[in-house]
Structure 1
């Protein structure tokens, strides 16, 4: 994992460490999601990104995904709630982005279980639709430690 990828995933992990995680999972499970929107207009004309998160596990249960988009080289991003296997359309200013996804199983009794993590780079062309699939794979303990997926008290944020 390069430093760019690691930095973006660490940003996602820091956001998930707050109570944001519970709110995002609840929002994804509550029903049809609101249409995601990029927080500010860009310098270039907008395009559309069609983002799907896929995982090798086939499940018939609605599984929430926490998806973040970050401008290339940026230090902040925007977080969305989506469902595994569904396609989300987001209007974005043209440019290069990084998408990271965490597939969460909130129904486990001892707290949320991280089922998958993945990332992909995407380029959004002005006035065009740019499809991207983020492949999520089962996380490993070293990856989680490297991302700092811990609550403020030091306990793990997710179970594997």
Structure 2
């Protein structure tokens, strides 16, 4: 698996333990507190403004799960947003990999998946756009988006 799929695979491992359901519920319930970065900040923090772009013009509030990982790290953080909204998160300055999954919780379908690299400058706001596209079956298999019993987390 290449580095582009690391954040999504990391989310998939946690999703089997109902992490995904909790994140989707939190996205639909309203604004959540800003996510906390998992390690202590040793460098001056910057702000990342993350926007997810999808071709769907959804009338309903569509949840998006965003994951962020520092380059070279095997851990990260996941947080929910609503499609069309911008997430703002304080991060230590550095390079990151962000991934987004657009989900339809009612039909349990994955509507879009995408990733992007992000460089956060200390004491500055860094914009990031994550373009998402409809996933294919091989991508779903490569990412390991399956429950512990082997059944898929989503329909395509």
Normalising by structure 2, report the TM-score: 0.95
Matching residue of 1:149:
145
Q: Does 1:60 align with 2:66?
A: no
Residue equivalent to 2:72? 73
When the two chains are superposed, the root-mean-square deviation of aligned CA atoms in Å is 1.2
CA deviation digits over 1:3-30, x for unaligned, max 9?
1112232112212222111111111111
Cα distance, 1:104 vs. partner? 0.5
SS in 2 for 1:52: strand
Please state how far the C-alpha of 1:41 moved relative to its aligned partner: 2.7
Distance 1:64 1:48 in 2: 22
Flag structure 2 segments of 5+ consecutive residues without an equivalent.
none
* 8 A Cα contact 2:38 2:76, kept in partner: no
Partner of 2:24: 25
1:79-129 residue CA offsets vs partner (Å, 9 max, x unmatched): 101111100100000000000111000112xxx110000100000000000
Deviates further, 46-55 or 7-16: 7-16
Kindly indicate whether the alpha-carbon contact (under 8 Å) linking 2:15 and 2:147 is maintained by their aligned counterparts in 1.
no
Deviations 1:31-88 (A, max 9, x none): 1222222233322100000001110111111000111100010000001011111001
Preserved CA contact (<8 Å) 1:70 1:78: yes
1:122-137 maps to which residues of 2 (within 5 A)? 122-137=118-133
TM-score by length of structure 1 reads: 0.93
User: What pairs up with 1:38-117 in 2 under 5 angstroms?
Assistant: 38-108=37-107, 112-117=108-113
